[in-house]
């Protein structure tokens, strides 16, 4: 009996131990596999981003080289130097452009070269014919290594860190090579010897005390790596949380997920990537003729849709884009999206228009006029169907604004001041500017019917527009009371949630069809432009 008791106790202990250890062992093994898999996957994603960043830098610099080399200008003339300077300023990846003749540097975007400077030794040539010189020491860099890219008679200087300008996770290092194993640059103090050993692997894995990922593309190979102990430490911390309750939850645990957060691109680099990946989309907020309820058009509003499908609000990236000069390529993508989304409906309905916002830099330079003309080529969209909106910030250089907006109006575009009443120049410059409409800011529309001091400003703006012969467009109309007030005081158009929120392209087209069924089609194209 006693022996049987011992046997039952022993078997119970064994089963208890097995029952406790087995689930914990399975949980530990699953945790390890998931941690390793996630970490290797993260390393691979960061290597892919590095390849994409390097490819973008090469293509960006090559485009500048191709443009300047094809230019029909006298070498080292003022026009030539000015062109190189403009391309240097407007090419994100380029620090300087130079012109070589007979193997000697004759001039750069800084001016004519007096020193006797020979063309640097070429380390390798890319598949598209660009000669690459690594780690050169030009005089202008003050002892800092640069990378030179040479095409035809010109070269550009690129800061090596441009090729690896991605934000890496904690403890992760990056080495970037060409396909022949020449080091282009690195980040976070990489072990170059270790990285070079894995250039040809094109895989992820563990080698001794380091984990690595190797990704190739666009003529480069990126190798990311980190100490394996980084995973061990995180794994121990995760297991410490779960082991005390392992006996209770082991039967329910399928996997213990160890999450390693992937680091963000620097904000500017991420915005550059978004432009390069064409992540910007356009939503359309209907513009309604208040007297009839007819949908006469829409305002094109840019949205940033990231790879995970999330939408970044414009107020979070537009200021950065304007500050860094990246707003202009975003505007280009907006116009391209409008052409793609709305060509058919604009061609079939000449009473419909799309309003596009302009940045201050475009208004000052006038670049947008030729850009829009180019995008509208080979389409059946009339210039009169593209209205242009400019905030009062765009009028800081009032003479440039007057000249360029007048050109736009002569081309057929109507021009409106957006968010009117919130800027500094409302009364001072309004009468002399070539504009056709005022868009009354939502903050003034919100005051309608509240009896506040600000309420009178709304009426004053409406009356001022009428005295100057301008159309008035109300933004942010949310109540029928506001709409009635605006109709009563002669405001022509309105937009806001009372009518519709900003809609995806197909949703806007559906909204327009419903509007036509209810109110009829838009009248013959509404030409806002005053006498030119």
Tokens representing residue 470 in the block: 């301008």
In this predicted structure, what is the pLDDT of residue 383?
A: 93
- Helix (H) or strand (E) holding 72, with range, is none
Q: Report helix, strand or coil for 528.
A: coil
Asked whether 105 and 98 are in contact (CB, 8 A), the reply is yes
Whole-number pLDDT of residue 33: 63
- Check pLDDT > 90 for residue 267: no
Considering only residues 73 and 168, tell me which one the structure prediction assigns the higher pLDDT: 73
pLDDT in tens, 1-30: 233 333 433 433 444 444 545 555 655 666
* pLDDT value at residue 203: 77
518 band by pLDDT with thresholds 50, 70 and 90: confident
Q: Is the dihedral of CA 417, 420, 426, 427 positive or negative?
A: positive
CA-closest candidate to residue 439, choices 268, 299, 331: 299
Q: Mean pLDDT across the stretch 486-502?
A: 93
Q: What is the mean pLDDT of residues 43-55?
A: 87
Local confidence band at 491 (pLDDT 50, 70, 90 cut-offs)? very high
Instruction: For residue 366, give Cα distances in angstroms to 92, 211, 264.
Output: 21, 52, 34
Distance from CA of residue 392 to its chain's centroid? 24
User: What is the rounded average pLDDT for all residues in the chain?
Assistant: 80
Provide the β-strand partners of residue 207: 210
Query: Which phi and psi angles does 504 have, rounded to 5°?
Result: -60, 160
What's the N-to-C CA distance of the chain in angstroms? 114
Other Cβ atoms less than 10 A from the Cβ of 333: the count is 17
Q: What is the pLDDT of residue 431?
A: 67
CB 494 within 8 A of CB 294: no
The predicted-structure confidence for 66-101, as pLDDT tens digits, reads as follows 999 899 999 999 999 999 999 989 988 888 999 999
Flag whether pLDDT at 442 surpasses 50: yes
Taking residues 408-432, what's their average pLDDT?
73
| Element (DSSP H or E) covering residue 428 | helix 426-429
Pair of tokens at residue 512:
């327009």
The average pLDDT across 154-160 equals 91
* 532: confidence class by pLDDT, cuts 50, 70, 90: very low
Is the model's pLDDT at 286 over the cut of 60?
yes
**Secondary structure E strands in 192-327:** 204-207, 210-217, 220-227, 280-289, 295-305, 311-312
Q: Where are the alpha helices (DSSP H) in 308-358?
A: 314-324, 327-348
* Structure token pair of residue 504: 């995806």
- Could you give the CA distance from residue 262 to residue 169 in angstroms, rounded to a whole number? 6
CA 112 to chain centre: 36
Mean local confidence (pLDDT), 252-281: 60
Enumerate domains of the chain plus CATH numbers.
1-263 (no CATH), 267-519 (3.20.20.450)
Q: Cα(418)–Cα(342) distance, rounded to whole angstroms?
A: 22
Rounded distance between C-alpha atoms, residue 475 and residue 492, angstroms: 12
| Measured distance CA(77)–CA(107) in Å, rounded | 9
Beta bridge partners of residue 358, listed in sequence order:
390
Map residue 500 onto helix, strand or coil.
coil
Contact yes or no for 385/338 (Cβ under 8 A): no
Q: How is 214-225 classified by DSSP, letter by letter?
A: EEEETTEEEEEE
Q: How confident is the model over 198-249, as pLDDT tens digits?
A: 887 667 777 778 888 888 888 889 888 888 766 665 555 555 555 554 544 4
Residues pairing with 187 in the sheet? 174
Task: State the pLDDT at residue 399.
Answer: 83
Tell me how far apart the alpha carbons of residues 290 and 286 are, in angstroms, rounded to a whole number.
Answer: 12
| Mean of pLDDT values over 465-485 | 90
Residue pair 235/32 in contact by the 8 Å Cβ criterion? yes
Determine which helix (DSSP H) or strand (DSSP E) holds 177, and give its type and residue range. strand 173-178
pLDDT attached to residue 172: 87
**What does pTM read for this prediction?**
0.51
398-410 and 367-376 helices cross at what angle (nearest 10)? 20
Q: What is the DSSP string of 398-430?
A: HHHHHHHHHHHHHTT--EEEEEETSSS-HHHHG
Residue-wise pLDDT tens digits, 322-344: 888 888 999 999 999 999 999 99
Can you tell me the mean pLDDT for 297-309?
89
Residue 129 in this model has a pLDDT that exceeds 60: yes
pLDDT value at 107 more than 70: yes
Position 6 scores a pLDDT of 38
Q: What is the dihedral of CA 81, 86, 87, 90, to 10 degrees?
A: 160
Other C-beta atoms closer than 10 Å to the C-beta of 112 total 12
Quickly state the pLDDT bin for 345 (edges 50, 70, 90). very high
Cβ neighbours of residue 511 under 8 Å, at least 6 residues apart? 286, 295, 500, 503
* Mean pLDDT within 399-404: 86
Give the pLDDT of residue 22. 59
pLDDT band at 295 (very low <50, low <70, confident <90, very high): very high
Looking at the DSSP assignment, which residues form a beta bridge with residue 304?
280, 312
Q: What share of the chain is helix, strand, coil (3-state, %, to 5)?
A: 45, 20, 30
For 109-172, strand residue ranges (E) read 111-112, 124-125, 131-136, 146-151, 154-158
pLDDT value at residue 264: 41
For residue 329, give both structure tokens. 């390529």
- Give how far the C-alpha of residue 406 lies from the chain's centroid of Cα atoms, to the nearest Å: 30
Looking from the CA of 33 toward its CB, the CA atoms found within 13 Å total 8
User: Cα-flanking dihedrals φ and ψ of residue 452, to 5°?
Assistant: -90, 170
CA 258 to chain centre: 30
Coil, helix or strand for 208? coil
Structure tokens at 179: 């396909």
525, 350 Cβ separation under 8 angstroms: yes
Q: Is the pLDDT of residue 503 over 80?
A: yes
- Look at the block and give the residue holding tokens 């003339």: 77
CA 412 vs CA 372, 492, 527: distances in Å: 12, 20, 9
């Amino acid at each position: 009996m006693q022996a049987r008791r011992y046997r039952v106790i022993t078997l119970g202990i064994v089963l208890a131990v097995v029952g406790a250890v087995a689930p914990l062992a399975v949980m530990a093994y699953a945790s390890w596999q998931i941690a390793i898999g996630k970490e290797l996957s993260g390393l691979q994603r960061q290597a892919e981003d590095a390849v994409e960043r390097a490819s973008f830098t090469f293509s960006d610099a090559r485009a500048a080289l191709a443009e300047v080399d094809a230019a029909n200008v006298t070498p080292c003339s003022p026009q030539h130097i000015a062109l190189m300077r403009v391309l240097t300023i407007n090419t994100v990846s380029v620090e300087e452009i130079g012109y070589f003749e007979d193997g000697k540097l004759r001039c750069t975007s800084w001016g004519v070269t007096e020193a006797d400077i020979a063309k640097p030794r070429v380390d390798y040539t890319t598949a598209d014919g660009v000669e690459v010189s690594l780690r050169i020491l030009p005089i202008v860099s003050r002892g800092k290594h640069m990378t030179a890219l040479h095409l035809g008679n010109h070269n550009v200087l690129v800061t090596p860190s441009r090729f690896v300008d991605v934000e890496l996770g904690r403890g992760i290092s990056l080495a970037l090579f060409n396909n022949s194993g020449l080091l282009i640059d690195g980040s976070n103090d990489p072990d170059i010897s270790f990285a070079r050993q894995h250039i040809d692997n094109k895989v992820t894995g563990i080698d001794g005390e380091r984990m690595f990922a190797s990704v190739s593309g666009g003529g480069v190979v990126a190798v990311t790596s980190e100490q394996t102990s980084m995973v061990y430490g995180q794994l121990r911390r995760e297991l410490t949380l779960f082991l005390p309750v392992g006996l209770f939850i082991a039967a329910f645990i399928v996997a213990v997920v160890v999450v390693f957060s992937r680091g963000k691109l620097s904000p500017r680099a991420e915005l550059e990537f978004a432009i390069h990946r064409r992540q910007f989309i356009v939503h359309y907020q209907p513009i309604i003729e208040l007297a009839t309820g007819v949908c006469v058009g829409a305002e094109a509003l840019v949205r940033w849709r990231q790879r995970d499908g999330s939408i970044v609000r414009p107020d979070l990236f537009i200021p950065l884009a304007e500050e860094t000069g990246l707003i202009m390529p975003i505007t280009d993508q907006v116009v391209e999206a409008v052409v793609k989304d709305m060509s058919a409906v604009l061609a079939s309905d000449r009473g419909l228009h799309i309003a596009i916002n302009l940045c201050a830099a475009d208004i000052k330079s006038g670049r947008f006029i030729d850009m829009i003309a180019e995008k509208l080529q080979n389409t059946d969209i009339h210039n009169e169907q593209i209205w242009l909106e400019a905030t009062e910030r765009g009028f800081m250089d009032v003479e440039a604004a007057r000249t360029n907006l007048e050109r736009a109006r002569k081309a057929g575009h109507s021009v409106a001041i957006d968010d009117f009443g919130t800027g500094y120049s409302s009364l001072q410059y309004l009468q002399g500017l070539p504009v056709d409409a005022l868009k009354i800011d939502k903050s003034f529309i919100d005051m309608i019917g509240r009896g506040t001091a600000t309420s009178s400003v709304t009426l004053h703006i409406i009356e001022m527009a009428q005295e100057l012969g301008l159309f008035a467009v109300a933004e942010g109309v949310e109540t029928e009371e506001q709409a009635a007030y605006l109709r009563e005081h002669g405001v022509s158009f309105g937009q806001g949630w009372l009518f519709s929120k900003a809609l995806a392209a197909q949703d806007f087209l559906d909204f327009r069809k419903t509007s036509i069924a209810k109110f009829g089609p838009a009248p013959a194209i509404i030409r806002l432009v005053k006498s030119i």
